Amino acid sequence: MTEKLPPEVAEAHWTKTRNLMWVTLAVWAIFSFFIHFFVTAMNNIVFLGFPLGFYMAAQGSLIVFVVLIFWFSARQNAIDEEFGVAED
């Protein structure tokens, strides 16, 4: 930011950024912890020839994390552009 934002604009920007952070944190927590609590129950479902619990523990969570990084980055950039504070 090269110039100081008016307080009401800065607050609106921070509100959207904070909400995005909480959504991202919730998705991360679900795929980091909660999915793994139910691995044994999910093993009854077969996905691509593997038990779903094993697949989610071995690959699924990692795929979700990579997608989450790109989604977060794109969404934060959109928020920054909306408030005129995007980087070049």
Answer yes or no: is 45 within a domain. Answer: yes
Please say whether the dihedral angle defined by the alpha carbons of residues 7, 74, 23 and 66, taken in this order, is positive or negative: negative
Residue found under tokens 């995007």: 86
Give the pTM: 0.81
- Total domains in the chain come to 1
Give me the pLDDT at residue 2, please.
45
What is the per-residue pLDDT across 16-70, written as a single tens digit (0 to 9) for each? Answer: 999 999 999 999 999 998 888 888 888 999 988 889 888 888 888 899 999 999 9
Give me the pLDDT at residue 9, please.
92
Structural tokens at position 15: 């509100």
Rounded to 5°, the CA angle 26-36-74 comes to 35
Provide the domain limits for residue 55: 7-80
Answer yes or no: is 88 within a domain. Answer: no
What is the per-residue pLDDT across 1-20, written as a single tens digit (0 to 9) for each? Answer: 546 889 999 999 999 999 99
Residue found under tokens 């934060």: 76
Answer yes or no: is 86 within a domain. Answer: no
